[in-house]
Amino acid sequence: MQDDMQADIIKIGGIVRNKERFVKRRQRLLGPDGATLKALELLTDCYILVQGNTVSCMGPFKGLKQVRTVVVDCMNNIHPVYHIKTMMIKQELAKDPTLAEEDWSRFLPKFKKKNTSKRKKPLKVREKKQYTPFPPAPMPSKIDLQLDSGEYFLNEQQREMKKKTEKKAAAKEKSLERRAAREEAFVPSGEEGYDAMGRMIRGVKKARKEEEEGGGGGGEGDGDETTGKKKKRKSEKDEDVVVSNTKKKKRKTES
């Protein structure tokens, strides 16, 4: 019967409703071969006994308080190993007198919460349409469409004639499109000096020839040579024509 020794009984039966889950978490508190329970006893200086729906413990008030937090958190799906780690660090820090008045939060481990039962977001989120109290307008029937177009009041012959004319119009459009596609190959490129049919304009043709004769080919000397050659050819042709004419006259006179 010591003054610093106290007892506490923790009820764990009503924390978890599912029996299988309750048994698993209670076993977690004990650990493999009672290892976690023994570690808690050494750290808190308390005697702990797990039996049925209760956990009874004896020891100092500070130790009992720590045991209660560990047991309740264990039944709320927080592993007791996390608490054991923090208690071990606190025990080591308490030995150092220089850290007695300092904050120990920087030395303590910070465990992230991993909630595996989080609902996954869908890949495609459908946008909700605005709510309207009125139902959507019904789709028009075949008779309604015929009434709108005026086809309902036509005879069978007139309807057939209308269908034929529509078919002919559609065929004509398609033929024009195909012809345009075929003629695309013969359409001239957008160069200057050509008319709509792709023929070169006369004035432009002469101007291009003069440019080629004057500026193309490599200088003034080359241009003079080409003009001289052309003149020689013309003179030779004229001489041949004169000789042929004289021979014809001689034959006539002889005959």
In a domain, 254, yes or no: no
Enter the DSSP assignment of 200. Answer: B
Which pLDDT score is estimated for 75? 92
Which pLDDT score is estimated for 129? 83
| CATH number for 73 | 3.30.1370.10
In a domain, 236, yes or no: no
Q: Are residues 10 and 94 in the same domain?
A: yes
In a domain, 224, yes or no: no
Q: Are residues 10 and 88 in the same domain?
A: yes
Residue pair 55/9 in contact (Cβ under 8 Å)? The answer is: yes
φ, ψ of residue 10 in degrees (nearest 5)? -105, 125
Check the CA dihedral 162-164-169-170 and report its sign: positive
Opening angle at CA 152, ends 150 and 153, nearest 5: 80
Helix axes 35-44, 19-30, angle to 10 degrees: 60
pLDDT, tens digit, 9 for 90 and up, residues 150-175: 888 888 888 888 889 999 999 999 99
Token look-up 């695309």 returns 184
Which pLDDT score is estimated for 68? 93
In a domain, 160, yes or no: yes
Beta bridge partners of 50: 55
Cβ-Cβ contacts under 8 Å for 3 (sequence gap 6 or more): none
Overall number of domains in the chain: 2
Which pLDDT score is estimated for 221? 46
pLDDT, tens digit, 9 for 90 and up, residues 111-134: 776 665 666 777 788 888 888 888
d(CA 154, CA 138): 26
Q: Are residues 89 and 154 in the same domain?
A: no
Starting at the earlier edge strand, list the strands of the sheet with 54-59.
Answer: 6-11, 54-59, 47-51
The last residue of a domain, from among 134, 160, 182: 182
Domain that holds residue 35: 6-99
The last residue of a domain, from among 41, 71, 99: 99
Which pLDDT score is estimated for 217? 47
Q: How many CB atoms lie within 10 A of CB 40?
A: 23
In a domain, 19, yes or no: yes
Residue pair 26/11 in contact (Cβ under 8 Å)? The answer is: no
φ, ψ of residue 203 in degrees (nearest 5)? -60, -40
In a domain, 252, yes or no: no
In a domain, 47, yes or no: yes
Which pLDDT score is estimated for 220? 45
In a domain, 195, yes or no: no
Segments in the chain below pLDDT 70: 1, 113-119, 187-208, 214-243, 245-255
